[in-house]
Amino acid sequence: MSDHVTLFEVGPRDGLQNERVMIRADQKIALIDALSQCGVSRLEATSFVSPRAIPQLADAGDVMAGITRAPGVRYAVLTPNLRGFEAARAAGADEVAVFASASEGFSQANLNCSVAESFARFAPVLEAAEDAKIPVRGYVSCVTDCPFDGSTPPSAVARIATKLMTMGCFEISLGDTIGKGRPDTVYSMLAAVMTELPASVLAGHFHDTGGKAIRNIAVCLDAGVRVFDTAVAGLGGCPYAPGAPGNADTRVVMEWLEEHGVQTGLDADALGHAEAIAKAVRQGAAV
């Protein structure tokens, strides 16, 4: 088993996007700059999405322009359509991401379109990214459970993940969007996906809503997955489970991995500084 895992830091984007208190661009920049000093190699900074859809990330251009880029860190952004991709490219994004749902109900509620229509929307992003030689990550949401459709068939996840890879994504992040995944359902989902794709192109994205994030990560680790999405100080939340924990906490995952002999390359002290900023930002304090 490989003794190294990459923790993809998603706090600045997935962690902050659901915060109700508006966070200033300078606060986001301070958080990203602190995370850049923690030893992360990949960091999702923001999303170039309609400000009407996610007002919290309306300052994406200002944030990307204000950060201090650290050597060896790849700064990623979410780009749901071609307009977002063009803005991300102009901002100097090192990597972009598109997202699709494994369930029709969530696609309609979250993207206002069917799963098939969502692919049509971001197909031009993949084409433009290939021309620009910018790598594209694919997210699949609701990989075990959907708040509208119930349990997600593993075959549906495998189909969506395979299509994303076929269209040009270099990596597929499998998201337990509402945190209802269990080790058994994660295992079944992963087994279906891995009949089509190798573990080397997969990542796990778990929310701790149900308190099972670490157990679900363990299932993926045993299957050979070596990239996991985490958020500093557990930033984030689930709009379908108000008050519940959010993304898997970067420190919690790091410490669990290291206890099991798996290194992440993160600096615990530097991470502590970033955590302090994340907590201050969430509370509306100055940083």
User: Which positions are catalytic?
Assistant: 238
Quote the CA–CA distance of 172 and 98 in Å, as a whole number: 10
SS3 31: helix
Quote the CA–CA distance of 258 and 13 in Å, as a whole number: 26
Quote the CA–CA distance of 231 and 11 in Å, as a whole number: 4
Quote the CA–CA distance of 26 and 4 in Å, as a whole number: 33
Quote the CA–CA distance of 197 and 191 in Å, as a whole number: 10
The phi and psi torsions of 101 (rounded to 5 degrees) equal: -105, 145
Q: Cα 126 to the chain's mean position, in Å? A: 18
DSSP 114: -
DSSP 143: S
SS3 154: helix
DSSP 197: S
DSSP of 243-262, one letter per residue? TS--BPBHHHHHHHHHHTT-
